[in-house]
Structures are given as structure tokens and as C-alpha cells.
Structure 1
Amino acid sequence: MGDDMKKVIPFIMLFALCSLMYKPVVSVSSSQSLAKKVIVLDPGHGGLDNGASVGKVNEDELNLKICYALKSELESRGATVYLTRTDDQDMTRRNYNYSKQDDMYLRVLKIDEYKPDLFLSIHLNSSSSGAWGSQVFYYRKSQEGERLAKCIHDSMKPVTGTKKPTSSCGFYVLRATQSTGVLVECGFLSNANERGQLKSAKYHKKLAVAISDGIENYQKSLSSGG
């Protein structure tokens, strides 16, 4: 073995030893905070049922856009997300003889089909007065629904500025499903200022982040037993 080779070997051995001792620091990403959670989003209305409308602004179209923004945000945090509808059709997918009863029945079946950890039905409000602000509804007999509603409501308040409280209800989509769920009214289309926000993709993103934060807080409250 030559002298030059004898000088190189110690450096090779030192490099190999350092490589074995070095352990890369792997940061825990908050993007996986909802990993293994299955969430269903239900964009309200669709098809022949536009929901609330002001001029050419229809609730069903905005509900779907908000749900897609929310889906993207939840998936970035590790959740598996399904939508009850993915286009401008109600659940019956008929262009004639619209039946609200049939539509709601099929929504419930679709939500239960996925066996989600939780679900959210997304809507926009309307009023003849100057009402404004988001509001979250939960089934009156569901304690977990009430807890989820409060967590989402508290996270949305800084974004929507709402002064409305969470509210119990008997909505079919909440009482007939097997999973914990809430109905989120993201704002009032009838309010000109709020309507301008609700048409904005940037605002959809803000809503998505706030709602996702609320879901995270709900999951943390379950883990802590609070």
C-alpha cells in the first residue's frame, strides 16, 4: 500500500464515522395535524335550487367554491376530504321536478356512506334586514355538535366579525346523519358589503383557514378531554 493511500484511509474512516453519528433533525409538520381524519363537506343547494340569490350571485355556486377552498386547506393538514356534490347539481341530479325532500335524503345517505369523523354543511344566509355575520348551527341533541360549532364559531369570529351566537336547530341534515356535524352559514348574501367578500377567492381562503383552525381546536379538545 502506498504512502499516499495510507494518508487517505484515516480521512475516509473519519467521514464514515461522522456519517453514522449524524442524525438529521426531522421537524414535525403542522400540516399533518388532521392526519387520519375523514371529513365530509356538503355544499348546500345546487342544480335547480340556487339557494339565496342576489342578481346573478347564487348561493349554491359560492357554497361549492368555499367548499373547494376548504377541501384544499383541510387536505394540506392531512385530512381525507369528500364532497357530497362536486358540480352545479343537487343530489337528485335531475333537471326537472326538483324535490327538496329527495335532495336532503340523498345528502344524508352520501354523508353516512363515507363514515366521517365529522361533516360540515356549508351555506350562505339571506335576510330582508341589514343582517350580517357568520353563524354555526348544531343539532339540539348533540353535545359533540355543540362543541364543534363553538370551536368553529370562535375561529371564524376574527375573520367575519360576527356578533351572532352558535345556535341549536333541528335541521334534517344534522339530525338524520350518524356522524357529528354542523351547518355553517358563512355570511349574508343580502348584505352588500358581505356579498362583496363572499364573492372573493381570497376571502374563501380566509374562511377555509379559520374553519380548519376550528376543526383542529375541536380535535384538540377531544384529545385533552376538555
Structure 2
Amino acid sequence: MKKMMSFIILFALCTCLYKPVIHVSSSQLLNQRVIVLDPGHGGLDNGASIAGVDEDELNLKISFALKEELESRGATVYMTRTDDQDMTRRNYNYSKQDDMYLRALKIDEYQPDLFLSIHLNSSNSSAWGSQVFYYKKSEDGKRLADSIHNQMKILTGTRKNISSSSFYILRATQSLGVLIECGFLSNANERGQLKSRSYHKKLATVISDGIQDYFQALSAPL
């Protein structure tokens, strides 16, 4: 009888101490996170335009791929634009100032956990590599940029580092965000990749991985 009682007590203690391992599916990792995507340029503003390839068009395609990937992980995703229009939605008297002002308002309207402004770079033909920018006064922005950059460089091989900036879209919004240059249109090799739908999906995957890393670091015990 004493042996039986000892076994029951031991079993009860083990039951109390046991903590089951909860496996979180990929569709749950970004649950309840609100993310805004801002495809740069649009409308009369094509952004960089090299060899007949317009930046604003590719920014939108990359953003759609990223939206699909983030939603597959449970995030709620909004976009500042979903067609070939800037935020003023007028085909005359284009105003960059008006466009950027409206973008900042639209981003903050959604009260997101974070936003990503998607762009492509242009310089001399030898310049290459992705780069992530954060607002110079934001430590959270720096951590987010670092998390995304560390995942992106696995794909892009970039040698560039994250960089602080005072880009309007970063300083004028109340929301946490980064600006991502996914590569250089002016580099023939990168331009070929950036035109590819399969590469858009790869970019979407690594950027989403970086966002997950950021949130996981926030929730990790000290």
C-alpha cells in the first residue's frame, strides 16, 4: 500500500512539472500581426527605369508576393497601393510631396505592428546588393532592419550593411517601419533576377523570415 501511495504521489508531481511542447505551425507564427506594405512610386512616377524595366511595376509585384507569403503565416496585410497609381491617383500635375504625405497617412491609418516600403535601387552598372534602411532615431527600427537584412543576405549575397536614414516615409509615420532596396535595376544580373516571379517569391520568403525573427526576439525571455 505504501508503494502504491508513493507511486501515485510521484506520478502527480511529474504531471504537474511536465510542460508539453507546443508546435506552432507556419500559419500561426504571425497571427494577430498587422503589416502594411508600401510599394514605392507608381502612376506618373516610375522610379528607376532601366532597359525598359520600371521600378514601380516590380515594386508592386514583389509586394503582392510578400503579401501572399505573410498572409500564409497568419498576418493581416494591407497595401498603400494595389495598381499602377501613386497615392494622389491623378494623371496630371504629379506631386511627390503630396504622394508621400498620403502614403504616411495611409500607413498610420491601419495602426500596424510594422510597415515595409519596397523599392529597387539604381546606380552604376557594377553596384549590386539588397539593403535595408531604418529611421535614424528608432532603435526598434534598427533591430527590425537587422533581422530582415540577416535573412535577405542569405538570398541576395549582399555585402551592404543596414543603414540609418531620414527618408520621409520613415520619419513622417508614427508606425515602426523600414525601407527595403531589394536590389539594383542598373545591374544587369540583378535586373534579370528582379524581373523573375520565382525570385519575387524567394524575396518574400526571406523578408518574412526576418520579420518572424524580429517578433520572436521581442517575445524571448530575458
User: Scaled by the length of structure 2, what TM-score is found?
Assistant: 0.89
The answer to whether structure 1 residue 181 and structure 2 residue 177 are counterparts is yes
1: CA distance, partners of 2:86 / 2:198:
26
1:47 — aligned with what? 43
CA RMSD of aligned residues (A): 1.2
What is the match of residue 105 of structure 2?
Answer: 109
2:74 is equivalent to residue 74 of structure 1:
no
CA distance in 1 between counterparts of 2:124 and 2:146 reads 27
Residue type matched to 1:62 in 2?
Answer: L
Cα distance in 2 for partners of 1:125, 1:28 equals 36
Which residues in structure 2 correspond to 1:48-197 (within 5 Å)?
48-197=44-193
Please give the alpha-carbon distance, in whole angstroms, between the structure 2 residues aligned to 1:195 and 1:36: 35
Task: Say whether 1:202 aligns with 2:198.
Answer: yes
Give the superposition deviation at 1:30: 1.9
Give me the identity figure in percent.
Answer: 76
In the alignment, the residues of structure 2 paired with residue 144 and residue 85 of structure 1 have an alpha-carbon distance, to the nearest angstrom, of 25
The Cα shift of 1:27 comes to 5.9
Q: Work out which of the two has the higher radius of gyration on C-alpha atoms and give 1 or 2.
A: 1
The Cα shift of 1:32 comes to 1.1
How far apart, CA to CA, are the structure 2 residues paired with 1:72 and 1:119? 15
Structure 1 runs (4+) greater than 4 angstroms displaced? none
Paired residue secondary structure (2:182): strand
Cα distance, 1:129–1:72 mapped onto 2, change above 3 Å: same
Give the gaps of 5 or more residues in structure 2.
1-21
SS at match of 1:41: strand
SS of the residue corresponding to residue 182 of structure 1 reads strand
How far the C-alpha of 1:39 sits from its partner, in A, is 0.0
Instruction: Write the letter of the residue equivalent to 1:92.
Output: T
CA distance in 1, matches of 2:189, 2:51: 15
Counterpart among 215, 219, 224 of residue 220 in structure 2: 224
> How far does the alpha carbon of each residue in 1:97-133 deviate from its partner, in whole angstroms, 9 at most, with x for none?
1000000000000000000000000000000241000
Deviates most, 115-124 or 27-36: 27-36
Q: How far 1:28 moved relative to its partner? A: 3.6
Distance across 1 between alignment mates of 2:32 and 2:176: 16
SS of corresponding position for 2:27: helix
SS of 2:143's equivalent? helix
CA contact (8 A) 2:133 2:164 kept: yes
CA contact (8 A) 2:125 2:188 kept: no
Partners of 2:103 and 2:138 in 1: how far apart? 19
